[in-house]
Structure 1
Amino acid sequence: MTRSGQSHILAIGGGSFRQTKRQGFLEASPLLRYALDLTGQDRPKLGLLATATGDGPDWLLTMYGAFAGWDVELSHLTVFPMPNVEDPRAWVLDQDMIYVSGGSVANLMALWRLHGLDEAMEEAWRAGVVLSGQSAGALCWHVGGNTDSFGPDLRVWADGMALLPYSCGVHYNSEPQRRALLQASVASGELPDGYAADEGVGLHYVGTEFIQAVSVDPGGYAYRIEHDGADGVKEFRIEPRLLTS
């Protein structure tokens, strides 16, 4: 397997999947086509993880169905009630791209650390496996952000893998609490400066450098959030590249 040698992460604020004309069925959005193209493979190996939902079988099945007709080699990794593969580290390193679903980011990180998956993900990232995910699957690569893992009221969370030395905001234009809390936590120093994404927007990093935002929503944006002064914050809107297919 030949990889580009670069380390890519696509952190998605929301909109990895979208409704089809068939009731109850989803399809993968162009955000995931963009991430798959980063692998440089004609038929990439795509590994799915739904740890943040407790490895919900219905959601795993839905994700498999969402890639129907795509030229990808799909597999998945679960940890309930035990890992479904003999060597989870080897499975992670064998993928061209990893996609991590939303859910509870706090539970996700606790389980990954318990099973050594955090170390496997970092090793894979450094080896050129593309890492991606939505919501919890976006927050986990960063220092932290805010989460409803502990209840309906959002809390500041700073226990991510920190492959990316930034805070992260997800669902930025659909859940009003998130913007205010992220700004407050950056202003107070609880979280470092960072980036946020609206629904339908992905944040693309090469190594630890933010390269660009991409979007499937013409009205969606990304944002840079920076500490300003003793207890202030500045937010800068970033125009994303619009993906049409």
Structure 2
Amino acid sequence: MSTTDTSTTRVALVTGGSGGIGRAVVQRLAADGFAVVVHYAGNRARADEVVAAVQASGGQALAVGGDVADETAMTAAFDAATAAFGGVDVVVNTAGIMILGPVASFDLDDLDRMHRTNIRGTFVVAQLAANRLRPGGALINFSTSVVRTQFPAYAAYVASKAAVEGMTLILARELRGKDITVNVVAPGPTATPLFLNGKDEQTVQNLANAVPLERLGQPEDIAETVAFLAGPARWVNGQVIYTNGGLA
């Protein structure tokens, strides 16, 4: 860990920080001077790799584990961030799972599992952020552009992310007077393992072609929007930012 003065360093907690978009967010915020807490659900080794990369570049980082839907585990994550760096200024909630399938045959156990992580998990982290972010802070939750595009087989996933949008925009109004912004980033097709898993080459190419820029997004594209909301975007609040290259 570097010896940067934590009294003046802003601190970001990134859930799912060892994943595709989460990793890019961690790297971007660290490059912007944040001390970063890299949350992981099960793969400690991968989180440690992200932490080591940040530290090798002269930044500050810490790995913390836990189920985002478990309020005790996530309280411990916030406590660890505070103990290491003095507090939390930004929470980026990228943690989530995606299971696809048509409504008519969707496995209800899969529905419950996905909604536990995507809805309850987001709610738990948002509740903690609402109570523990320092003034001037930001909470950034994650949705999906498929909320608008309505692709077949995404109904259960979209239902969970539409819930994220609803709770986030209400929370932005509930935090009146606290100087904390609350927004949603809704990526389009982005080249991450979560997105690419189970899709054949033609399906991936068709999704890339649906975007006017004719390519998939990269995790770094999404991280750029997060960095804007985490830093200079103090007049952006209670919004859903569709970061998708122009996908309808």
Pair in the same fold by TM > 0.5: no
How high is the TM-score relative to the length of structure 2? 0.44
How high is the TM-score relative to the length of structure 1? 0.45
Structure whose residues are more often helix by fraction: 2
